[in-house]
Copies of this chain bind each other. A is one copy, B any other.
């Protein structure tokens, strides 16, 4: 299948919009059929066998636990990956930003939930027009403020847009979400009273639970969140405002939300790729184990004898907010990461590394790493199977 040329990087274009004839017009790191070692660097690599195995394990677990999985597209920002997730899980997907939702709907996804509040008239109008343009696709969003809910109702009515709305619940991180049942009831009533908004239920995400290292700590944090959510659900039910959906959770906590009897839908994202930070969590024997499926391919661009190898990757190639990436090979450790270089130092009698060698690294965090790349190179058995654009890369807005 030829690559879609509509994704040609703008940097190959001259300012008058015409292409300079001598400059490589279609830089992509690889073509289908290329061996892994021939992929140009830096490149973001997805191991398809591992990725598919991760989806399968999650689906088996969720089927047994009788919860839906709505994977979070903030991790991959790629419509092709979202479509493959829908093929497995059957539900829709999550986005964190309006721009991500645009990219996903544009990529033929038909059920997108923005797990965030959208604020300001310009953005709300964009959201309403998006929902109208793609109807009957389902478009959802969260609210935690009565003024926002009222403004959204007014704008959706003016724009003739239907939207699914969730009340966002704070599970203790004091970041977004309502803190009391009274606030939730007030919000739900505004939504129920709107002719174009559908009150769907509660969104309750515990960011603090995801990376507690011990299983008991993660379970306790998630359980506390489920109790808090359950109290709010009861208050809504007493006010004759039933919640159809209770959703939330992430790759660190979903087993406990799934077992809580409170949540009907979980929103994990990173499980599909995994990263060093999630791998630091103590494994729970009762939960599915996921494999590293996402890598950064780099090239040795300078050497210092047999002791130092400098790679052509750095702070602009992978996220380091949870530490440096981990080499997939033994005998070398990351000494330093700067904008465009990662220096490896030999620590034991490892294999020698030569100038020009390719080196695979496992990112410490997959979400922030994907956002730094234009392309995902999908590989099976060390051969490129496809190259997919990161459609919502940089969709901050």
Contacts and interface: CB of A to CB of B under 8 A. Distances in A.
Interface of A: 4-7, 9-15, 17, 20-24, 27, 29, 40-42, 74, 79, 96-97, 99, 102-103, 105-108, 116-120, 122-123, 126, 129-130, 132-134, 144-145, 147-148, 170, 174-177, 179, 207, 299-304, 308, 310, 312-313, 315-317, 319-321, 336, 338-341, 343, 355-356, 367-368, 371-374, 389, 391-397
Contacts of A389: 10
A119 B20 contact: no
A89 B126 CA distance: 43
A133 B374 CA distance: 25
A10 B6 contact: yes
B27 A397 contact: yes
A315 to B, nearest CB: 5
A179 B13 contact: no
Contacts of A4: 15, 17
A74 B391 contact: no
Contact of A367 (B117, B132, B302, B339): B339
A242 to B, nearest CB: 25
Contacts of A107: 15
Contacts of A367: 316, 339
A96 B394 CA distance: 21
B23 A130 contact: yes
A134 B175 CA distance: 51
Given A145-B302, A301-B117, A397-B27, A17 B11 contact: no
Given A119-B301, A316-B368, 18 more contacts: A7-B10, A11-B395, A20-B133, A22-B134, A23-B105, A23-B106, A96-B340, A97-B340, A120-B356, A147-B355, A148-B355, A175-B310, A175-B343, A179-B304, A207-B338, A340-B396, A371-B372, A373-B394
12 contacts: A6-B17, A11-B99, A11-B392, A11-B395, A20-B133, A22-B133, A24-B102, A29-B397, A40-B397, A179-B304, A317-B396, A373-B394
Contact of A338 (B122, B132, B175, B392): B175
Tell me the number of copies of this protein.
2
A131 B210 CA distance: 49
B126 A302 contact: no
A129 B210 CA distance: 49
Nearest to A303: B145
A106 B20 contact: yes
Nearest to A176: B302
Contact of A308 (B9, B116, B174, B396): B174
A311 to B, nearest CB: 10
A389 B17 CA distance: 13
Contact of A368 (B20, B126, B339): B339
B356 A23 contact: no
A174 B343 contact: yes
A130 B312 CA distance: 20
Nearest to A14: B106
A126 B24 contact: yes
A300 B119 contact: yes
B175 A396 contact: no
B394 A372 contact: yes
Nearest to A317: B396
A283 to B, nearest CB: 24
A393 to B, nearest CB: 7
A15 B341 CA distance: 34
> What are the 7 tightest A-B residue pairs by CB atom distance, in nearest-first order?
A22-B133, A6-B17, A11-B103, A176-B302, A119-B301, A42-B396, A96-B340
Contact of A174 (B17, B23, B175, B304): B304
A102 B355 contact: no
A356 B119 contact: yes
